[in-house]
Amino acid sequence: MSAQWYDGNISIPGCDKNMPGTIMAMGRLNRPSIMIYGGTIKPGHFQGQTYDIVSAFQCYGEYVSGAINDHQRMNVIRNSCPGAGACGGMYTANTMASAIETMGMSLPYSSSTPAEDPLKLDECRLAGKYLLDLLKMDLKPRDIITEKSLRNAMVVVMALGGSTNAVLHLIAIARSVGVDLTLDDFQKVSDQVPFLADLKPSGKYVMEDLHKVGGTPAVIRYLLELGLLDGDCITVTGKTLAENAKLFPSLAEGQQIIRPLSNPIKETGHIQILYGNLAPEGSVAKITGKEGLYFSGPALVFEGEEAMIAAISEDPQSFKGKVVVIRGEGPKGGPGMPEMLTPTSAIMGAGLGQDVALLTDGRFSGGSHGFVIGHVCPEAQEGGPIGLVQNGDIITIDVQKKRMDVQLTDEELVERKRKWTAPAYKANRGVLYKYIKNVQSASRGCVTDE
């Protein structure tokens, strides 16, 4: 866009990373822009059961634990993704699409309209009309993406039970427009906003179900009525968030997906920021209410995701009561901070969701659930305390105190750090090496241009 001096931009991303990437580029270029979300997938169905992408991952844990056979596992896999669209629950794609719509950078219904719905084509046509209006008004991304609209995005992430990846992505989006968003800002919003949506992975429904009862505009309208959103923020329609909301119906009467404020799934947000001697620069936990608020147990340490998967495939019951530590998966160590969907799915599928906690310097998929803490900073590659943990060390996670600690004295940690040597980088030339040398920590959004 910059090289060719384009006047405006319509982008159509369709999954987890390319949506925030698109919005970051729009913020940097600051030309009139609209994002069209490619849309969510429909759920799969087989023999009376409803499946989605996480079903395909979790059935591996069921298989290795002996709960199902290989034929049953393949039936789940074959029927989990029946067509086009991004993963169907409140996973990272739908989380970011909802956040971006609430932020004002996409048209109403963009985040909840399924990919194969004819309304998606109507949205594409409308985007052309609205982009011309944006050009006439000279309304640009930095006019729309502000501290207030970013807070609105955080509110909808909390209310819908969205992915922990929203923390990374919204911090990076904020930095692209010159706004300083921090982990503590997320905790403040989490303390003020209840978790209301019974959506997968921790709940029952998928995004298509939400669309049928009013979609994201109805959720925005409801949150405005509750006083949780700032309705004065401008959007790509040229109208404010509140003006847009008045044009669309409320949530369908009798719907079961969005809980009333009097009966939330959790009275505060599910995303919790934890510190402690294991995460002096912060970490991000996803606590939906089913996992409890406290876990303590001996560490079971793995150098990377693959080692953990091999171990749980051999003996899933040996994980019971343990705090699984997967390290070397941070922004520099990964490199690229991969997501731990396969490990969390294996734990849940093996029936260990109540008996295992997992912490990592990597990320989680929006489909991950259970007692999970990611984005641990500093990461192991940089000599963070997570890199000093040994098998058997007692780790305590106390969500109410917002702490995650290993039972070692400061002196013991210093001595281990003295003996520690940094692992070799997994790339020593090319793009990945440049990335390793430039990427910031997860707490700073993993940006590479600062």
| Sheet strand arrangement including 294-303 | 271-274, 283-286, 371-374, 357-360, 323-327, 294-303, 394-398, 403-406
State yes or no: is 190 an active-site residue: no
List 33, 163, 202, 365, catalytic entry: 365
Q: What is the DSSP letter of 398?
A: E
Q: What is the DSSP letter of 298?
A: E
Measured CA to CA, the distance from residue 379 to residue 315 in angstroms comes to 28
Give the type of residue at 327.
R
The tokens for 215 are 């979609």
Phi, psi of 124 (to 5 degrees): -60, -40
Helix residue spans in 79-214 (DSSP H): 92-103, 119-137, 141-144, 147-160, 165-176, 183-192, 207-212
Residues in the chain: 450
SS3 150: helix
Element (H, E) at 286: strand 283-286
| Sign of the CA dihedral running 415, 419, 423, 428 | positive
- Tell me, rounded to whole angstroms, the distance of Cα 125 from its chain centroid: 29
Measured CA to CA, the distance from residue 286 to residue 159 in angstroms comes to 13
DSSP for 104-142 reads: TSS-TTTTTSBTTSTHHHHHHHHHHHHHHHHHHHT--HH
Give the type of residue at 316.
P
> Which active-site residues does the annotation give?
365
